[in-house]
Amino acid sequence: MDENVNFQEKAASAIPHFSINYRFNVNLIPTSWSNCLFDLSVSICFQVFGGQKFDAGCFHDLNMILVFIVMPGNSVEMSYKIAQIRLVSSHPEVYEPCDDSFALVDALLSDRNNLLELKPMLCMEVGCGSGYVITSLMLMLGEEANGAQFIATDINHHAIRVTQETMEAHGVYAELINTDVASGLENRLAGSVDLLVVNPPYVPTPEDEVGREGIASAWAGGENGRSVIDKILPVAEKLLSKRGWLYMVTLTANNPSQICRQMMKKGYASKIVVQRSTVEESLHIIKFWKDNDIEADTNDAITNSKAVPLGIVDSVRLQIQRLSFWGSSDINTSTN
């Protein structure tokens, strides 16, 4: 693909007054429609660009255009403002927004009303990369965030600079800290983070690739892609407030059901907010929150020397197998 071709801007011009500032929330239309629209978007992109590489971000914008063409006059809502790809800064050693980034932002968008009801006072992203996710979060919450503070960390110092540039381009601000996960912040922020967002290095790689400098730190996840995830989870548990929520990107190879079982033993309920499959991977955006009932059940199980009930975990496994090409589903019966 010619680097000078901006597919999103060309696609946007197909509909008068269409703004890239807004992205269609695919969760607001039936799953069958979203599947068809996604397939159609992919088909169009391949027909236009052939075997050439094209920006995965165009799927979102093209999906929105297709909704207006295929479903004119329907009362389809628009999602709130998120970061504009053309304003996201870049660097050769910084991970650019891709399918996992878009899926995570879509998960936050789909849960926006719940987030506003939560009224988080401290929001944090671990591994901010280009700044696309933390910037989108600040924009979608907007003035209704009621003075919430935002913090983002990254082990890559280039990512800190790029995120700063991305935020400045969008007129938002967050405290940026160059550190590994939350090193140096755990005691300061213990029990005070109401919203924690993580797109961890989840790609299965040799262990010696984990934690390397530069862009490799963004994806190298070690054996089963779990090395960094398993490092982040206990930190997240320490950082989260009693009412705190964690949104995390996982890959099928990471064994999401096992992650949910691990968090359940700590008293956390789980919910798959978005599931998305691409040619290369199957992603799950999982939301975790403290559930007193689960915690009580776990304590009773320990007291009675019985195994922790696996019903919830089994349901997670079934959902991961059954979820459609593009959809979302609950892992337990809670309303969060």
Dump pLDDT digits (tens) for 75-100.
334 445 899 999 999 999 999 999 89
Is 221 within the bounds of a domain?
yes
CATH of the domain at 192: 3.40.50.150
Q: How many domains does the chain have?
A: 1
pLDDT at position 105 over 80 = yes
The residue with greater pLDDT, 298 or 187, is 187
Is 5 within the bounds of a domain?
no
pLDDT at position 191 over 70 = yes
Is 311 within the bounds of a domain?
no
**pTM above 0.85?**
no
Radius of gyration in angstroms for the set of CA atoms belonging to the chain, rounded to a whole number: 20
Range with the largest mean pLDDT of 11-20, 284-293, 305-314: 284-293
Separation between Cα atoms, residue 26 and residue 87, nearest integer Å: 23
Is 143 within the bounds of a domain?
yes
Segment 309-314 shows an average pLDDT of 42
Is 314 within the bounds of a domain?
no
Residue 113, domain extent: 85-296
pLDDT band at residue 109 using 50, 70 and 90 as cut-offs:
very high
Is 51 within the bounds of a domain?
no
pLDDT at position 321 over 50 = no
Separation between Cα atoms, residue 295 and residue 301, nearest integer Å: 10
Segment 5-31 shows an average pLDDT of 41
148, 173 in Cβ contact below 8 A?
no
The residue with greater pLDDT, 54 or 275, is 275
Separation between Cα atoms, residue 247 and residue 284, nearest integer Å: 10
133-175 pLDDT, tens digit each: 999 999 999 988 888 999 999 999 999 999 999 999 999 999 9
Is 266 within the bounds of a domain?
yes
Separation between Cα atoms, residue 140 and residue 267, nearest integer Å: 29
117, 144 in Cβ contact below 8 A?
no
47-58 pLDDT, tens digit each: 555 555 445 455
215-224 pLDDT, tens digit each: 878 888 888 9
Is 238 within the bounds of a domain?
yes
